[in-house]
A and B are shown apart, each in its own frame.
Chain A
Amino acid sequence: AQSVTQPDIHITVSEGASLELRCNYSYGATPYLFWYVQSPGQGLQLLLKYFSGDTLVQGIKGFEAEFKRSQSSFNLRKPSVHWSDAAEYFCAVGARGGGNKLTFGTGTQLKVEL
């Protein structure tokens, strides 16, 4: 069975600082990997996804993530955080051919200090 671990429940960074949110997955083959953001009062929004090819993927809002097969990781990064990035971030894994039937991590709550 597939699973996702997001080891950091809460992270606080200063505005303008860099950010890395960790995600480790367990899956028997090459997975589909996703990062979603959930802001208060907003639905989930897809930030980026990895299917195949280049292991460094670019997403919206200046986010990127790197797929590292050897570490079973798909960490999310942003070089300079903005106050509006404060939200909850979810990593998810999907099986090939499984559509958007995804397994989500428990989320990381990001707080941005001004």
Chain B
Amino acid sequence: GAGVSQSPSNKVTEKGKDVELRCDPISGHTALYWYRQRLGQGLEFLIYFQGNSAPDKSGLPSDRFSAERTGESVSTLTIQRTQQEDSAVYLCASSLGVTPGLNTEAFFGQGTRLTVV
């Protein structure tokens, strides 16, 4: 597609339920990132996929959070047993990947606004 696509755009869920958030990166982008943006805050890094390498999960806040990516395509972020503090906008970004010593621009999706009630 033309840009990074995320679905759903909005999700309201009850505390304790599991949710899945989807990200379709730009075609050909090997790197994919998930970030979380809480109200009035900057973005917090969650997880990073680069090609077939093991993902960098260093930003995941708890074991209730997990993410998968199939090849260089769609990624799914799953939050189990949601809590009210999980309410945030979850942003996905993709880029052409990383060359040592050189970075490439990340393109962000519109995000999924998650509200846990």
Contacts and interface: CB of A to CB of B under 8 A. Distances in A.
Interface stretch (B13-21, B43-51, B60-68): B43-51
A42 B111 CA distance: 9
Q: What class of interface size applies to chain A in its complex with B?
A: 20 to 34
Interface stretch (A13-21, A77-85, A102-110): A102-110
B33 interface: yes
Contacts of A49: 103, 105
A107 B33 contact: no
Interface residues of B, number: 32
A43 B105 contact: no
Interface in A55-108: 90, 92, 94, 96-107
B35 to A, nearest CB: 8
B108 A43 contact: yes
B45 A51 contact: no
A63 to B, nearest CB: 15
Contact of B33 (A6, A45, A96, A101): A101
Contact of A90 (B4, B31, B42, B50): B42
A100 B40 contact: no
Q: Which of B40, B103, B109, B110 has the most CB of A within 10 A?
A: B103
Contacts of A92: 42-43
A46 interface: yes
B91 interface: yes
6 contacts: A49-B103, A99-B95, A100-B48, A100-B95, A100-B98, A104-B43
Given A42-B110, A100-B48, 10 more contacts: A44-B91, A44-B93, A44-B108, A45-B108, A51-B102, A51-B103, A100-B33, A100-B104, A101-B33, A105-B42
Interface of B: 3-4, 31, 33, 35, 40-45, 48, 50, 56, 59, 91, 93, 95, 97-98, 100-111
Leading 9 A-B pairs by shortest Cβ distance: A104-B42, A100-B106, A99-B98, A44-B108, A104-B43, A43-B108, A106-B42, A43-B110, A101-B48
